[in-house]
Amino acid sequence: MASFGGRGPAKPTLEYKPQILHSLGSRTIEVCNNQVIKSGAGLRNHEVSNMKFVAEHTIIPVPRVHRVERDKDGKVLKIYMDYMPGKPLDKSWATMTESERKSVAEDLCNYINQLRKLKGGYIGGADRGQAVIGQHVFHEGGPFDQEFQFNDFLFSKIISRVPSTLRYHATKTFKEDHEIVFTHSDTAPRNILVEGGHVTGILD
């Protein structure tokens, strides 16, 4: 008497080798299975929180975060996110038509306005993350509930390098009544993806 029980031969599993998109120092960005994997030193949880916050409150095309790998202390090791279509604006601008350039500018104006409409009651990252300043050397602090606290934080990092005769005037230029809104601190062409005359992704 015959019976049917097995599942048959297993289908082969395709394994894709990650392709490195960018590498600088210990930081690596690679793509695999239509996902981008960002890894290396300096990754922070606020980057994940900020992308999720923007995705939930705007229609700005930012990568959707799929998962985050952390070490035993909670430090971010890898971020897995959507692979966004398009090419960086700095590599596309020269070949774009005037109509495409105008369309991209309109998209960016719309997206920046959406960010500016996200009001805050403190200075820092989403979910009360720390404020981070600097491009190559980073300083973290806060979050800051008052702007004067943020100003003090800024000057605590640079005041030792300012001549004493300039310190008084330098500190007086900082105001304490700005409206606090969400912003992208590096809206550079390399972080803007475009395709077909439209912005397809805002990165980093």
Q: What is the pLDDT of residues 33-90, one digit of tens each?
A: 889 999 987 788 888 999 999 999 999 999 999 999 999 988 899 999 999 999 999 9
Q: Please give the share of the chain, as a percent, with pLDDT higher than 90.
A: 55
State both tokens at 145.
């509930």
Could you give the angle at which helices 147-158 and 164-172 cross, rounded to 10 degrees?
160
Q: What is the mean pLDDT of residues 131-159?
A: 82
Tell me what pLDDT residue 128 has: 92
Identify the residue with better confidence: 135 or 132.
132
pTM summary value: 0.79
Tell me what pLDDT residue 16 has: 58
Tell me what pLDDT residue 2 has: 43
Name the CATH topology of 16-83. Phosphorylase Kinase; domain 1 (3.30.200)
Q: Which residues of 168-181 are buried (b: 16+ CB within 10 A; e: fewer)?
A: eeeeeeeeeeeeee
Tell me what pLDDT residue 135 has: 65
Identify the residue with better confidence: 174 or 12.
174
Is the distance from CB of 92 to CB of 194 less than 8 angstroms?
yes
Tell me what pLDDT residue 151 has: 87
pLDDT tens-digit series, residues 4-44: 344 455 555 445 577 887 777 677 889 888 899 999 877 88
Q: What is the mean pLDDT of residues 97-114?
A: 97
Whether the per-residue pLDDT at 199 is higher than 80: the answer is yes
Q: How far is residue 15 from each of residues 32, 68, 82, 134, measured CA to CA in Å?
A: 9, 21, 18, 39
Tell me what pLDDT residue 4 has: 39
Where in the chain are the domains? 16-83
Mention every residue, 6+ apart, whose C-beta is less than 8 A from residue 13: none
Identify the residue with better confidence: 58 or 135.
58
Q: What is the mean pLDDT of residues 147-153?
A: 90
Written as one letter, the residue type at 77 is L
